[in-house]
């Protein structure tokens, strides 16, 4: 009965994730069709600035909130904790805006927009960031199905708003406003869902601000903040550097290609997080070290073969994915998607290993891996002229990501006896290799064969993954 419910939920979530991926890829196609090359580059610049503010000011508190969701729900303190979190985020907005203005003048963005319209955009965008926190809380506390429904609705309504806004002003800023307004609207609904049947207590708010409790929060948040800023440095800051050294147009080609692989891996990571994270959190809550180790190893045994198979899928089908998913002017960006697949693979595995630091509430050891990776990337980008060979940019990123992953795994193994099984990943790799035939045949991409190859490749990927996942899914679901 439990297993049947498990597979029912998995089917619903998979359909929802397919819809999310479809909307996300449609968004990429529309952006590259409706915006100029320069505006596409600016689109990625704005996303990078907002992600800097998210990582530096908002996500650390969101991670602390997410770590203790189940604890607060069991103690009937969820509404109070949520309101405290919202209040602290509101107080942080002016500081985030100050940093955004520093970035504005440092990189001379007055060539693209005025400081006034930039500032308004920043405030609206950081308010919209609360959507992700409340959506994840819905997944953990309420229902995976509701999570899926509201995730799809937010993207769909956001896409409609973006297309409408772009009719009045064909700019990257107008496009992002569409999604931001959709996120703010649905955040109100999600807040009511997760705090229903919960009491709000002024007394508990006052008690939460005692010295001992705040000290514990700060000890959790400060290392996470440093780590997240370094994550941002490695994952996103290259966009600001490339635009500053070269142009928004060169950035656009690199970013669009990497977005192709990023969209697929992010969707897969989101599905695994959405489905397995509630199970993982329940297994590590109030569990001893041996049980926490077992929970992580089970999660890794499930995800590693899947990530390897998707890596091969993206490399094999990159030219056809580019033909299908981006405008004609960005067709040659597929080379960045191929290299970007390695970047994304190293990134999702690093994120998986990073979970150990949160389960052990020891986040200091995550700082050095990201710092070294970030420094490698910055030194590489500033010391090598890539104007004639822009493909070197993602190669530099891939090497820095691999370095981060290696050091992260070494550090996390000191906290828990984590390990990767290699038999199933090796078998998954061998079974996925036939997809490379499509790439080796060098068939000229058309819309028809691109759709056909991508679809058949996707079905083949699902077919070979099912035998691997069936037994492990049952094992992981036995909470």
DSSP 36-67: -HHHHHHHHHHHHHHHHHIIIIIHHHHHHHHH
Rounded to whole angstroms, the Cα distance separating 316 from 439 reads 5
What local confidence, expressed as pLDDT, does residue 95 receive? 95
- Can you give the pTM of this predicted structure? 0.81
Q: Classify residue 116 by its DSSP letter.
A: H
Tell me if 427 sits within 8 A of 464, measured CB to CB. no
Rounded to whole angstroms, the Cα distance separating 102 from 49 reads 11
Domain stops at, among 182, 209, 236: 209
Q: Looking at the structure, do residues 98 and 128 belong to the same domain, yes or no?
A: yes
What local confidence, expressed as pLDDT, does residue 4 receive? 62
Task: Provide the domain limits for residue 412.
Answer: 226-479
Q: Looking at the structure, do residues 406 and 363 belong to the same domain, yes or no?
A: yes
Rounded to whole angstroms, the Cα distance separating 404 from 275 reads 26
Rounded to whole angstroms, the Cα distance separating 433 from 429 reads 6
Q: Looking at the structure, do residues 151 and 298 belong to the same domain, yes or no?
A: no
Tell me if 214 sits within 8 A of 8, measured CB to CB. no
Rounded to whole angstroms, the Cα distance separating 250 from 37 reads 9
What local confidence, expressed as pLDDT, does residue 176 receive? 96
- Residue written as token pair 């506390």: 141
Whether 160 is in a domain gets the answer: yes
Tell me if 154 sits within 8 A of 148, measured CB to CB. no
Question: Own/partner pairs for 354-359, CB < 8 Å, 24+ apart?
Answer: 354/408, 354/412, 355/280, 355/296, 355/299, 356/296, 356/412, 356/415, 356/416, 356/418, 357/412, 357/415, 358/63, 358/67, 359/284, 359/292, 359/295, 359/296, 359/416
Q: Looking at the structure, do residues 190 and 259 belong to the same domain, yes or no?
A: no
Domain stops at, among 156, 184, 209: 209
Domain stops at, among 209, 242, 276: 209
Q: Looking at the structure, do residues 283 and 202 belong to the same domain, yes or no?
A: no
Q: Looking at the structure, do residues 283 and 414 belong to the same domain, yes or no?
A: yes
- DSSP conformation letters of 135-191: HHHHHHHT-HHHHHHHHHHHHHHHHHHHHHHHHH--SHHHHHHHHHHHHHHHHHHHH
Whether 279 is in a domain gets the answer: yes
Looking from the CA of 201 toward its CB, the CA atoms found within 13 Å total 14
Whether 379 is in a domain gets the answer: yes
What local confidence, expressed as pLDDT, does residue 372 receive? 93
Whether 46 is in a domain gets the answer: yes
Burial 81-107 (b: 16+ CB within 10 A, else e): bbbbbbeebeebbeebbeebeebbeeb
Rounded to whole angstroms, the Cα distance separating 222 from 211 reads 16
Q: Looking at the structure, do residues 276 and 403 belong to the same domain, yes or no?
A: yes
Tell me if 17 sits within 8 A of 270, measured CB to CB. yes
- Residue written as token pair 């196609």: 29
Total tally of structural domains belonging to the chain: 2
Q: Looking at the structure, do residues 104 and 230 belong to the same domain, yes or no?
A: no
Whether 20 is in a domain gets the answer: no
Q: Looking at the structure, do residues 234 and 191 belong to the same domain, yes or no?
A: no
**Distance, C-alpha 326 to centroid of its chain:** 21
201 dihedral zone (left: phi>0; alpha: psi -120 to 50; beta): beta
Q: C-alpha angle 373/403/129, rounded to 5°?
A: 50
Helix (H) or strand (E) holding 208, with range, is helix 202-208
Q: Looking at the structure, do residues 360 and 478 belong to the same domain, yes or no?
A: yes
**Distance, C-alpha 417 to centroid of its chain:** 26
Tell me if 180 sits within 8 A of 128, measured CB to CB. yes
Tell me if 123 sits within 8 A of 92, measured CB to CB. no
Q: Looking at the structure, do residues 77 and 108 belong to the same domain, yes or no?
A: yes
- Residue written as token pair 């079905």: 459
Rounded to whole angstroms, the Cα distance separating 49 from 237 reads 9
Per-residue pLDDT of the chain (479 residues; tens, 9 = 90+): 445 666 676 677 778 878 888 898 899 999 999 999 999 999 999 999 999 999 888 888 888 887 777 777 777 778 888 888 888 889 999 999 999 999 999 999 999 999 999 999 999 999 999 999 999 888 878 777 888 889 999 999 999 999 999 999 999 999 999 999 999 999 999 999 888 776 655 655 655 556 666 677 777 788 778 878 888 888 899 999 999 999 889 999 999 999 889 888 887 777 777 667 767 777 777 677 788 888 878 888 888 888 888 899 999 888 998 988 898 888 888 899 999 999 999 999 998 888 888 776 676 788 889 899 999 999 999 999 888 889 999 999 999 999 999 999 898 888 887 888 787 778 778 888 888 877 777 788 888 888 888 888 888 887 777 666 655 555 555 54
Whether 278 is in a domain gets the answer: yes
Whether 15 is in a domain gets the answer: no
Q: Looking at the structure, do residues 254 and 391 belong to the same domain, yes or no?
A: yes
What local confidence, expressed as pLDDT, does residue 201 receive? 57
Whether 7 is in a domain gets the answer: no
Rounded to whole angstroms, the Cα distance separating 63 from 369 reads 19
Q: Say how many C-beta atoms besides its own lie within 10 A of residue 456's C-beta.
A: 13
Rounded to whole angstroms, the Cα distance separating 397 from 408 reads 16
Tell me if 457 sits within 8 A of 321, measured CB to CB. no
């Amino acid at each position: 009965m439990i297993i049947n419910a498990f597979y029912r939920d998995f089917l619903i979530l998979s359909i929802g994730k397919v819809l999310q991926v479809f909307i996300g890829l449609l968004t990429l196609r529309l952006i590259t069709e409706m915006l100029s090359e320069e505006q596409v580059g600016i689109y990625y610049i704005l996303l990078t600035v907002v992600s800097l503010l998210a990582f530096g000011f908002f996500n650390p508190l969101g991670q602390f909130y997410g770590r203790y969701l189940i604890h607060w729900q069991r103690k009937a303190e969820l509404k109070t904790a949520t309101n405290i979190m919202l209040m602290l985020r509101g107080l942080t907005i002016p500081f985030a805006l100050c940093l955004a203005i520093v970035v504005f003048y440092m990189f001379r963005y007055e060539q693209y927009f005025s400081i006034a319209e930039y500032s308004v955009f920043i405030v609206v965008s950081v308010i919209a960031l609360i959507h992700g926190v409340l959506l994840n809380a819905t997944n953990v506390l309420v229902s995976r199905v509701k999570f899926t429904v509201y995730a799809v609705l937010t993207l769909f309504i956001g896409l409609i708003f973006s297309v409408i806004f772009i009719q009045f002003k064909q700019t990257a800023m107008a496009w992002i406003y569409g999604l931001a307004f959709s996120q703010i609207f649905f955040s109100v609904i999600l807040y009511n869902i997760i705090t229903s049947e919960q009491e709000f207590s002024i007394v508990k708010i006052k008690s939460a601000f005692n010295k001992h409790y705040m000290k514990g929060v700060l000890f959790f948040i400060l290392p996470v903040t440093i780590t997240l800023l370094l994550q941002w440095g490695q994952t996103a800051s290259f966009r600001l550097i490339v635009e500053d050294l070269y142009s928004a147009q060169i950035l656009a080609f690199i970013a669009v290609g990497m977005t192709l692989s990023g969209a697929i891996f992010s969707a897969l990571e989101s599905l695994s997080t959405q489905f397995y994270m509630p199970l993982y959190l329940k297994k590590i809550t109030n569990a001893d070290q041996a049980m926490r180790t077992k929970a992580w190893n089970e999660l890794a045994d499930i995800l590693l073969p899947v990530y390897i198979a998707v890596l091969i899928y993206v490399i094999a089908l990159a030219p056809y994915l580019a033909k299908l998913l981006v405008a004609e002017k960005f067709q040659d960006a597929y080379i960045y998607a191929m290299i970007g697949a390695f970047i994304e693979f190293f990134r999702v595995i690093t994120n998986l290993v990073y979970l150990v630091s949160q389960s052990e509430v020891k986040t200091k050891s995550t700082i050095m891996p990201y710092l070294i990776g970030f420094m490698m990337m910055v030194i590489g980008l500033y010391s090598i002229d890539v104007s004639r060979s822009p493909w070197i940019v993602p190669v530099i990123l891939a090497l820095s990501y691999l370095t981060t992953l290696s050091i992260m795994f070494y550090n996390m193994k000191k906290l828990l006896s984590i390990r990767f099984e290699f038999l199933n990943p090796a078998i998954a790799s061998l079974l996925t290799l036939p997809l490379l035939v499509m790439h080796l045949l060098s068939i000229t991409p058309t819309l028809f064969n691109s759709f056909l190859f991508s679809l058949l490749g996707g079905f083949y990927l699902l077919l070979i993954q099912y035998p691997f996942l069936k037994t492990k899914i049952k094992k992981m679901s036995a909470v």
